Chain A
Amino acid sequence: MKQRKLILTSALFAAGALALTACGGGSSSSSSSGSGSSGAKGGSVTIYNVKPQNPLIPTDTNEVGGSNVLDNLFTGLVRYDPTTAAPILSAAESITPSKKSEFWDIKLKPGQMFQDNTPVTASSFVDAWNWGAYAPNAQLNSSFFTPIKGYDDLNPADPDGDGPKTAPVPKVKTMSGLKVISPTEFTIEFKTPQSFFRVEAGYAAFFPLPTSFYKDPAAFGKKPIGNGPFQLVSGDGSTGFVLKAWAGYQGADKPSITQATFKTYTSDTAAYADIQAGNLDFMDEVPPGDLVNDQFKKDMPGRFISKPVGLIGTLTMPSYDKDYQDPILHKAISMAIDRATITKSVFNGSYIPATGWVSPVVDGYKAGACGVNCDYNPTMAKQLFAQAKFKGPFTISYNGDRTGNKEAYEAICHNIQNNLGASCTAKPYVDFATFRAAVTSYKMTGMFRTAWQMDYPSIQDYLEPLYVTNASSNDGKYSNKTFDSLITKADGQSGAAANATYQQAEATLATDMSIVPLWYENQSAVWSSRVTNVKTTPFSTIDLTDIKVK
């Protein structure tokens, strides 16, 4: 009798426990705090954020935790349309290039102010860019000023490279290429034509700074003062930042809400639970566990989005390794990869097979640059592989700390093994930092993962920094003279002509396929039932101008 009771109780427990675990993500969400003001105006929203890695200074912010906050505190010369990503004049009244795009004249709208009631002038921009480019200030975004004439004066080279001597202190503090003409006008002279500058001008590195910044940059990094639609009221990186709509903002993109809190989370699952409970209003990603079987769409009916953003994943061949210099081998590998199946099974369709090297959301995108090389064609792949000299074994290296990488690159290896009959190993590195250290040592003996998120929505940003000979992010040391000359030509043109030339350059990448395009990333975002009119930008961020509290 006692025995039976024991077994019964244990069975009940086991069943209950299993049921609980199974229904982990289960039924639809319950409560949501239905408070908040009614009507279209006003209200406060809470947005998911991660801890900023760097001080909140525009020239020092290169990751999402900081840029989420700064992009709302400042407005640059241009801002980007949330739907089309096209640049719209914001602080600038006009941005005019010379015929060859070497000289640019910037006129500012008059009467603009910072949030501390000091005026926004041409010096606000010029002084900020000079400060950011000045080597002893060690700003992370300093390389964005490299094309400006006089940058090298502010960044004298280290005389012995890695040796004990350090670079000398620069003799000047201003770049000769920046000239202030009047309080509302300044000019830029670039070393080489930069036809895309109008699109680039909205990036955080080019934001203006008030004169109060220079007295104490460290304090500014904790509480920045900007010229944008929101001002920072309180908070810090660990708990989050509270932003209030700034009454003095004169731009066209004034928000309808009065307050936005960027709450810092250490894990995305905690944030997802908070969205379900109504404590959080918007999250610009979905935890991988909730992407399975589109669970997030069931959890948040009508409150999700899944749309392409400016992110692309590629597979790079080490062009410095003699085994990987054969275009026939590259094409064979590319045709052996079943992108459609992998994106459906590993990424639940939230990634899209790539047909080129440029994200579909940017100005200048043209579909199909890769052509047949990116089609899944195992027969053709096998034929080409038979002609290739190097037959493996192949390795694909990736960083193991990102969900989905392991499954994706192991799947690619299976494709190579099954379709080409060569052995392939997917090699994980423990985290991103370790992986990047290995890649930038330029000693990789196999293929490796590369990905690119755009800094500004232009086709140029997907080509020049990555594939020009000796470019800063050219991880495979790829070199193609035709590509280089087309890029230089396009940099000197403008508008549709420039884009057409960039597209020609992109097409040359298909001749040797040293970088194999894999997929474009979609962004999935969810929000609570408190808010409506939610729009996300092509940078995967929330557009605070349009969001409304119900």
Chain B
Amino acid sequence: MIGSTLLIFTMVWALPGDPFSGRCGQRPCPASFVAAETARLHLDKPLPVQYLYFLGNLLRGNLGLTSDGTSVAHELARAYPITLKLTTVAILMEIVLGIGIGIIAALRRGKFFDNLTLITSLVAISFPVFVIGFVLQYVLGVRFALFPVTVGYGAPWGDLILPGFVLALLSLAFVLRLTRASLLETLNADYVRTAIAKGLPRSLVIRRHVVRNSLIPVVTYIGADVGVLLGGAIVTEGIFNIQGVGGLLYQSIRLRENATVVSVTTVLVLIVLIVNLLVDLFYAVLDPRIRYE
């Protein structure tokens, strides 16, 4: 944790410009403002000293203030739940739709449904997320009014369906193909043929043996994907006007607000670590062969 915070702190510190350039447009910022901010943020001290001040404040629970006077902690508490909601919707879609359709496609291999999903997923992978986002927003939101065009105050779950889908689409396509491939491989395994030879109904075999064993690579991918989703949420948040972490991060980088950037990214790192831990634990559930001492 210290390593990553120090790294990010240094990167923002190294950005050219300072919190004053551009803050006052084409005019220079008043000397009194520059002096006060330099003192508050210890900008005249060398980098290690600035970092120690930051750590000291962090341990006391003081993350500092953003440029408009709101506390950084307040902004994090406001923005993170919204981004996490969006990411949760995206992951749920990824799991339900990705795995579900992947299983069906594998079982109906070679048939029309399988080919259809393969081509659709190829399209989803090839198009950049903002193209799909804009198109779906216009067609489904503005033109046909099936979904809200932008997300409302506090990000209600219903408003997040379309943005979640857009965010999940790329990963969904990968999960779909991965599930399908993994399932096809498992269907040819010895123990499956044994189970069928024993006389077990096909649906039972698939439910109890095949799916669980095929899911290991998929679960690994989803766990790794959470970090990507949290990062990719920035673009989706812009398209649908979701007041989450993405906008917060963009604004604070632009204004060179070191404290905000480091705080946001630190929490991000924490979330990715926790999710990956959960994924590791979930392996044991999926596959009894994997046990932890």
Give the residues in chain A near B243, CB-CB below 8 Å: 238-239, 264, 266
Scan B14-33; emit 1 where CB is below 8 A from any A CB, else 0: 01111001111111111111
- Tell whether B96 is near chain A: CB-to-CB under 8 Å: no
- Tell whether A55 is near chain B: CB-to-CB under 8 Å: yes
Segment among A19-27, A353-361, A531-539 that sits at the interface with chain B? A19-27
Interface members, chain A 205-250 (any B CB < 8 Å)? 218, 221-222, 236-239
- Tell whether B145 is near chain A: CB-to-CB under 8 Å: yes
Checking A222, A265, A277, A452 against B142 with a beta-carbon cut-off of 8 angstroms, the contacting residue is: A277
- For residue A135, give the distance in angstroms from its CB to the closest CB of chain B: 4
A52-B68, A271-B241 as given contacts; A440 in contact with B21, CB under 8 Å = yes
A270-B238, A270-B240, A434-B15 as given contacts; A24 in contact with B138, CB under 8 Å = yes
- Tell whether B36 is near chain A: CB-to-CB under 8 Å: yes
- Give the complex CA separation of A138 and B247 in angstroms: 27
7 A-B residue contacts at CB 8 Å? A5-B115, A155-B32, A270-B150, A270-B241, A435-B22, A453-B25, A473-B28
- For residue A45, give the distance in angstroms from its CB to the closest CB of chain B: 17
Checking B23, B44, B237 against A53 with a beta-carbon cut-off of 8 angstroms, the contacting residue is: B23
Determine if B150 and A279 form an interchain contact, defined as CB atoms under 8 angstroms apart: yes
Question: A: which residues have CB within 8 A of B?
Answer: 2, 5-6, 9-10, 13, 17, 20-21, 24-27, 29-31, 51-56, 62-63, 66, 135-143, 155, 157-158, 164, 166-167, 218, 221-222, 236-239, 264-267, 269-271, 273-274, 276-277, 279, 430-438, 440, 450-453, 465, 472-473, 475
A270-B239, A271-B241, A473-B26 as given contacts; A221 in contact with B21, CB under 8 Å = no
Determine if A143 and B30 form an interchain contact, defined as CB atoms under 8 angstroms apart: yes
A136-B36, A465-B27 as given contacts; A274 in contact with B134, CB under 8 Å = no
Determine if B79 and A277 form an interchain contact, defined as CB atoms under 8 angstroms apart: no
- Tell whether B112 is near chain A: CB-to-CB under 8 Å: yes
Checking A30, A136, A436, A440 against B32 with a beta-carbon cut-off of 8 angstroms, the contacting residue is: A136
Determine if A267 and B32 form an interchain contact, defined as CB atoms under 8 angstroms apart: no
- Give the complex CA separation of A157 and B34 in angstroms: 13
Checking A27, A141, A239 against B143 with a beta-carbon cut-off of 8 angstroms, the contacting residue is: A27
Chain A: CB-nearest residue to B243: A238
Checking A24, A29, A436, A437 against B134 with a beta-carbon cut-off of 8 angstroms, the contacting residue is: A24
Determine if A450 and B26 form an interchain contact, defined as CB atoms under 8 angstroms apart: yes
- Tell whether B254 is near chain A: CB-to-CB under 8 Å: yes
Give the residues in chain B near A440, CB-CB below 8 Å: 21, 28
Determine if A155 and B256 form an interchain contact, defined as CB atoms under 8 angstroms apart: no
A-B contact count (CB 8 A): 187
Chain A: CB-nearest residue to B34: A138
Give the residues in chain B near A437, CB-CB below 8 Å: 16-18, 21-22
Scan B76-116; emit 1 where CB is below 8 A from any A CB, else 0: 00110000000000000000000000000000001010011
Give the residues in chain A near B32, CB-CB below 8 Å: 135-139, 142, 155, 167
Chain A: CB-nearest residue to B256: A433
Determine if A164 and B44 form an interchain contact, defined as CB atoms under 8 angstroms apart: yes
Checking A17, A166, A430 against B39 with a beta-carbon cut-off of 8 angstroms, the contacting residue is: A166
- Give the complex CA separation of A542 and B29 in angstroms: 27
A142-B30, A274-B150 as given contacts; A221 in contact with B69, CB under 8 Å = yes
Give the residues in chain B near A6, CB-CB below 8 Å: 115
Checking B27, B35, B255 against A433 with a beta-carbon cut-off of 8 angstroms, the contacting residue is: B255
Determine if A17 and B127 form an interchain contact, defined as CB atoms under 8 angstroms apart: yes
Determine if A155 and B115 form an interchain contact, defined as CB atoms under 8 angstroms apart: no
Give the residues in chain A near B150, CB-CB below 8 Å: 270, 273-274, 279
Interface members, chain B 211-254 (any A CB < 8 Å)? 237-243, 246-247, 250-251, 254
Checking A20, A63, A266, A273 against B25 with a beta-carbon cut-off of 8 angstroms, the contacting residue is: A63
- Tell whether B75 is near chain A: CB-to-CB under 8 Å: yes
Give the residues in chain A near B37, CB-CB below 8 Å: 138
Give the residues in chain A near B25, CB-CB below 8 Å: 62-63, 453
Determine if A167 and B239 form an interchain contact, defined as CB atoms under 8 angstroms apart: no
- Tell whether B119 is near chain A: CB-to-CB under 8 Å: yes
Determine if A267 and B27 form an interchain contact, defined as CB atoms under 8 angstroms apart: no
- Give the complex CA separation of A26 and B138 in angstroms: 9
Determine if A13 and B251 form an interchain contact, defined as CB atoms under 8 angstroms apart: no
Give the residues in chain B near A438, CB-CB below 8 Å: 16
4 cross-chain pairs, A with B, having the tightest CB-CB distances, nearest first: A138-B36, A433-B22, A437-B21, A135-B32
Checking A13, A142, A237 against B123 with a beta-carbon cut-off of 8 angstroms, the contacting residue is: A13
